[in-house]
Amino acid sequence: MVEQQRQRKRGLARKLGAIALILVAISLLGACGKTDGGSQATGAAPVGGSAAAQPPSVLNYGYIGTNKLNFPGGAEGWGFYKGIIQEEFKKYGITEVKLTGFPNGPDQSESLISGRLDFGSLGDTPALLARSNGANTRAITQGATESIGYLIGKKGGPAKVADLAGKTVAIQKGSFMHRYIAGIVKEQNIPNVKFIHMLRPDGEAALSRGEVDAMTNSAIFAYKQIDQGYPLLDDATKHPNLIGTSITVVSEEYLKKFPDFPRIWNEARLKALKDLQSKPAEYYQFLSQLNGFTPELNEKASPISTIKDVPFTDDGLKLLDGTKKFLIDEKLADKDFDLNSWIVK
């Protein structure tokens, strides 16, 4: 019995010794696979600590509008249409960009919040509202600062803004045009104006049938209604503080994967802008393909001169701040937030 116990002890000792040798070997192998600074020899991190970010190969982008070509307008749309932006992205491992059009900003914001989009361009009002409601986004570009809202009346209906008292106005809730009409009603203290949410095609149809007394619309579509005899009651050029802007936002989750994305996006966008500036006739023809209106009308509604060549301007930021304050004051937005901490410069 004693001899058996001694044999078991010797066997246990041999096993423990073997385990110790294995651990030592693993330790030595790990040391051989490292540089003197402690980083791994294969795929070593750059000096400074963190590895270079490798973004996902597929990038999902959203924009406002729907068309057969599946592109937005502006420098962004031209850049994607010509492949200029895609070529720049390929340098960083992004091999595919998926574009999705949305009828309005709130719908796009919902897709960004849910993770279906990585970034997108939309009006400032829905972008601000989403951020106020807790969306984890960052603003990286203010591509245009002259988005004009128009107030179109029904035929035989209101002749001026004051006539909207007790009337119904079709709006796209949460859009920059919503902010515009809400601002007018407040400025002129017009009582009992009822806002009803309708997407643009539905609003135009309801106005033609006389089911609403007025509607808000954007430039080129408003021009068409005016040409058809609908009265123009007002537009944002008469209220500079109510002019809208366009914002490109990216999810904070995507920024974690690709922190340098804002710089790369703005450089690619600027390259696209310089290209379209050299081809104005071709650019307006491109817009005509998107919306079905003539190149001449597109030039009137969306002149190249309104496209910004820097990510942000002082005037644009003032408009953005004014819009945010209005949304907070009117309780259209849930919570206030620091604009500077939202913007990536």
pLDDT tens per residue, range 119-177: 999 999 999 999 999 999 999 999 999 999 999 999 999 999 999 999 999 999 999 99
Distances (CA, A) of 334 to 38, 106, 130, 145: 48, 15, 9, 24
Q: Report yes or no on whether pTM surpasses 0.85.
A: no
Each residue's pLDDT tens digit, 190-236: 999 999 999 999 999 999 999 999 999 999 999 999 999 999 999 99
Please say whether the beta carbons of 166 and 191 come within 8 A: yes
pLDDT for 53 equals 65
Confidence of residue 345 (pLDDT cuts 50, 70, 90): confident
**Which phi-psi region, left, alpha or beta, contains residue 3 (left: φ > 0; alpha: ψ -120 to 50)?**
alpha
- Beta-bridge partner residues of 343: 139
DSSP helix/strand/coil, 251? strand
Q: What does the alpha-carbon distance between residue 271 and residue 90 come to, in Å, rounded to a whole number? A: 15
Residue 294 has pLDDT above 60, yes or no: yes
Residue 8: pLDDT band with limits 50, 70, 90: very low
Domains of the chain as residue ranges with CATH: 58-147+243-342 (3.40.190.10), 149-242 (3.40.190.10)
pLDDT of residue 52: 56
Q: Is the CB of residue 123 less than 8 Å from the CB of residue 173?
A: no
Residue type, 121: S
* Strand ranges, E, within the chain: 58-64, 96-102, 119-123, 137-147, 149-153, 168-171, 194-197, 214-218, 232-235, 244-251
